[in-house]
């Protein structure tokens, strides 16, 4: 099963909220399932964004507590936290010197081309809520999933610490995103020769 098929299977089985079908249809009209997750750090490859989204969901489930947590909330947060990256990247080429031959060669890379510059976590919340209503805990988790890398947090905003204190879901999403990015997704970016790595979808 490829990552897109796995994403859709989890999505349809776990997310039953009004508007879920319309949100999935919108995602399928964007480049969400073909887009990279970053320009070079992790999953910088075709299909990297959906690969990362599935990985974050699976990692997040390690912290799932049946007595207090919602499977639907975990699916929404894990699968949808980075919908802000749909229609965000474009594939381009640049000249890179081949160290072996000394010649300049054109190689593909991903560049940022943000068509809706509204931030990161807050942009995901905005896009999701055009279709379905998020619970406060879900909105907080998605808004602050970048942790200390969030622009507002780096600028000194203290709301992130308050969100983490009040909403365990926000902490769990951030930890899952961080673990997936730095531990599970090594070797998932475009390799130096310009070819894409082997992926599951």
- pLDDT tens across 164-181, in order? 999 999 999 999 999 998
Helix (H/G/I), strand (E/B), else coil: 63: helix
What length does the chain have?
A: 201
User: Is the dihedral angle over the CA atoms 51, 49, 64, 157 positive or is it negative?
Assistant: positive
- Residue in the block written with tokens 């909403």: 167
Does residue 195 carry a pLDDT above 70? no
Q: Which two tokens stand for residue 180?
A: 């997936």
- Asked if pLDDT for residue 41 goes beyond 90, the answer is no
Distance, in Å, from the CA atom of 169 to the CA atom of 149, rounded to the nearest integer, reads 18
Whether 103 is in a domain gets the answer no
In a domain, 192, yes or no: no
Would residue 98 count as lying in a domain? no
Q: Phi, psi at residue 133, to the nearest 5°?
A: -85, 130
Q: For 70-87, what is the mean pLDDT?
A: 96
**Percent of the chain whose pLDDT exceeds 70:** 88
Q: In this prediction, what percent of the chain has a pLDDT beyond 90?
A: 61
Looking at the 3D structure of the chain, how many domains does it have? 1
Tokens of 22: 């319309």
Residues ≥6 apart with Cβ < 8 Å to 196: 45, 46, 190
pLDDT at 106: 67
Q: Give the number of C-alpha atoms closer than 13 A to the C-alpha of residue 4, restricted to the C-beta side.
A: 12
Within a domain: residue 80? yes
The predicted model gives 97-102 an average pLDDT of 79
Residue 9 CB neighbour total at 10 angstroms: 12
Confidence band of 1 (pLDDT split at 50, 70, 90)? confident
pLDDT higher than 90, residue 185: no
Q: Are 107 and 57 a contacting pair, CB within 8 Å?
A: no
Please say whether the dihedral angle defined by the alpha carbons of residues 82, 88, 90 and 95, taken in this order, is positive or negative.
negative
- Written as six digits, the tokens of 60 are 């997040």
Q: Is 95 contained in some domain?
A: no
Cβ atoms of 36 and 49 closer than 8 Å: yes
Per DSSP, 194 falls in state S
Under the banding of pLDDT at 50, 70 and 90, the label for residue 43 is confident
Q: How confident is the model at residue 189 (pLDDT cuts 50, 70, 90)?
A: low
pLDDT band for position 199 (50/70/90)? very low
Can you tell me the distance from the alpha carbon of 169 to that of 78, in angstroms, rounded to the nearest whole number? Answer: 10
- Domain of 63, in residue numbers: 3-86+115-184
In angstroms, rounded to a whole number, what is the distance separating the alpha carbons of residues 144 and 165?
12
pLDDT tops 70 at residue 82: yes
- pLDDT at residue 108 is higher than 70: no
Give CA angle at 172 (170, 174), nearest 5°.
70
Regarding predicted confidence, which is higher, 88 or 43? Answer: 43
* 102 falls within a domain: no
């Amino acid at each position: 099963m490829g990552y897109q098929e796995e994403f859709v299977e989890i999505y349809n089985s776990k997310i039953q909220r009004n508007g879920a079908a319309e949100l999935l249809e919108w995602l399928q009209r964007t480049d969400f399932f073909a887009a990279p997750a970053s320009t070079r750090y992790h999953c910088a490859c075709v299909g990297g964004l959906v690969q990362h989204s599935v990985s974050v969901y699976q990692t997040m489930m390690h912290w799932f507590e049946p007595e207090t947590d919602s499977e639907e909330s975990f699916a929404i947060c894990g699968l949808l936290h980075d919908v802000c990256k749909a229609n965000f990247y474009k594939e381009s080429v640049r000249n890179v010197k081949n160290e072996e031959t000394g010649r300049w060669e054109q190689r593909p890379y991903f560049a940022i081309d943000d068509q809706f510059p509204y931030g990161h976590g807050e942009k995901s919340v905005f896009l999701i809520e055009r279709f379905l209503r998020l619970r406060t805990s879900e909105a907080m988790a998605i808004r602050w999933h970048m942790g200390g890398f969030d622009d507002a947090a780096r600028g000194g905003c203290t709301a992130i610490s308050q969100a983490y204190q009040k909403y365990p879901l926000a902490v769990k999403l951030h930890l899952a995103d961080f673990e997936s990015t730095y531990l599970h997704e090594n070797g998932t970016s475009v390799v130096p020769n310009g070819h894409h790595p082997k992926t599951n979808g």
